[in-house]
Structure 1
Amino acid sequence: MCASYESRFSVRQLVDAFAHAGIEVGMDGGGLPNLEPREEVRPTDTDRIVRAAPDDPDRTLLAPARFGLKASAPKRPPVINLRSEGRGVSNAATSGRALLPVSGFYEFTGDTYPKTRWRLSDAGGAMLMLACVWRAGVGAGGEGDADGFALLTGEPGPDIAPYHSRGVIPLPPAAWADWLFDRVPAADLLIPPPAGTLIATAAPRPSAARDATQAPTLFDL
């Protein structure tokens, strides 16, 4: 489960990472956007995801979307995590598979406030591409026409298990195209990473008052 993540990389680093995997990333609106480093992205914040382009299912698009899907019931918090088990995910005109590029994501341990915040990142220092689902016009955060995304979760795997009973699913580069272009069933790709893929480092916030554990805003459906 993941309620926030870190985004510290340039658009050139992102483009190069996909190029090494044999994937060209198109840009929404044409030119390269300026991706500002962000220490923490939280539910309802706007970010960019990589998904199949609507006009060409074999081309990708770096597109804006809000972190979280609007809940189906009123006054419920945004849905930011979705269980992957038994969930078929296919590409369509208004929804489908996507990857969220991150430099790390956060988990919390402890039974009392403030909990210990941990940053989990790629053991080799590369970007992580987290499997997610996007939907048109259902982004949380007050804009009715904003696209939204939710991270897929599953069994935590050995690197995440010490910090949470469920985990987000970083996909290896060899699986990016199969996931984005809907070539392989979701169940064959959405598996926990092997031991040694991730490393964890303590990441205390400057101000404990901002601890997201004070006000949980997520479902894991």
Structure 2
Amino acid sequence: MCNDYRLKVDIASIVEDFEDLKIRIKMPEGKPNVPARDDIRMTDMAPIVRSVEGARGMGELVNRRWSWPGNRGKPIYNFRTEGRELRSHCALILADGFYQFTDPPVPRPKDKRLDKWLFTMKDHDWFCIAGIWRESPAGEAFTMLTMNAGPDVSPYHHRQIIPLTHDQWGHWLDPTVPAKHVLGRLPQGSLPVIQVYGAPPAQAALL
């Protein structure tokens, strides 16, 4: 599953894109510090736009921890959508790419790193990943929602996170719109992928 993603877009561009979609963005904690990062990993702080209870067409841009502690202490960084009604505490996780890791087709005895693949969204500089947020012993935190993999991701993993196109962002923040009307797989060719290298052994243990 996805335990690493990328965001290299500046806050000004992010806010401008939300304004173009008529989604009002508040920053209740001030302008978040969002440095460009090739790798955002679980327990890192990262920007999300979270839903506002009782409000439509509005979100709050805040920095929050990716993953909350589970019952056995393991981080809950991905969350299955199947069998769950998701109508509140929705989050848009800002990204311009996400990674999957696979075993190399030819073993590299002196290199225990996995092959690393970067997925982006066709025709968009950046996008949002569907998530939820909640209070936890570690403070407010978010997790990425998952479903069975679509055609672009299935050659690399049987599950995937859920990237949302721009026209879906407002619906995900709107509690009156059922989740099943928003969450889905994108058509084949929507998520271009390139291969990168350098997944450390610690990442391999998380797959």
Q: TM-score, normalised on structure 1?
A: 0.84
Q: 1:49-198 residue pairs with structure 2 within 5 A?
A: 49-54=48-53, 57-58=55-56, 59-73=58-72, 76-91=73-88, 96-110=89-103, 113-136=112-135, 138=136, 144=137, 146-198=139-191
- In structure 2, stretches of 5+ residues that fail to align are none
Is residue 199 of structure 2 the alignment partner of residue 202 of structure 1?
no
Q: What residue in structure 1 maps to residue 203 of structure 2? A: 212
Indicate conservation of the 8 Å contact 2:102/2:115, yes or no.
Answer: yes
Q: 1:23-38 residue pairs with structure 2 within 5 A?
A: 23-30=23-30, 32-38=31-37
Indicate conservation of the 8 Å contact 2:69/2:76, yes or no.
Answer: yes
Q: What residue in structure 2 maps to residue 141 of structure 1? A: none
Q: CA deviation at 1:89?
A: 1.1
Q: CA deviation at 1:183?
A: 2.4
Calculate the aligned-residue CA RMSD, in Å. 1.8
Partner AA of 1:118 in structure 2: W
SS at match of 1:57: coil
Indicate conservation of the 8 Å contact 1:43/1:67, yes or no.
Answer: yes
**1:145-174 CA distances to partner (integer Å, 9 max, x unpaired)?**
521111000121111111110111011122
Partner AA of 2:55 in structure 1: P
**1:111-156 CA distances to partner (integer Å, 9 max, x unpaired)?**
66321100000122421200001002x1xxxxx4521111000121
**Alignment partners' CA distance in 2, 1:39 and 1:110:** 21
**Alignment partners' CA distance in 2, 1:107 and 1:194:** 19
Indicate conservation of the 8 Å contact 2:50/2:92, yes or no.
Answer: yes
**Alignment partners' CA distance in 1, 2:34 and 2:165:** 23
- In structure 1, stretches of 5+ residues that fail to align are 139-143
Range moving further from structure 2, 122-131 or 146-155: 122-131
**Alignment partners' CA distance in 2, 1:190 and 1:167:** 12
Q: CA deviation at 1:27?
A: 0.9
Which one has a larger percent strand, Structure 1 or Structure 2? 2
Q: What residue in structure 1 maps to residue 46 of structure 2? A: 47
**Alignment partners' CA distance in 2, 1:135 and 1:24:** 22
Indicate conservation of the 8 Å contact 2:114/2:197, yes or no.
Answer: no
Q: TM-score, normalised on structure 2?
A: 0.89
Partner AA of 1:9 in structure 2: V
Indicate conservation of the 8 Å contact 1:10/1:35, yes or no.
Answer: yes
**Alignment partners' CA distance in 2, 1:125 and 1:172:** 9
Partner AA of 1:12 in structure 2: A
Q: 1:6-17 residue pairs with structure 2 within 5 A?
A: 6-17=6-17
Partner AA of 1:2 in structure 2: C
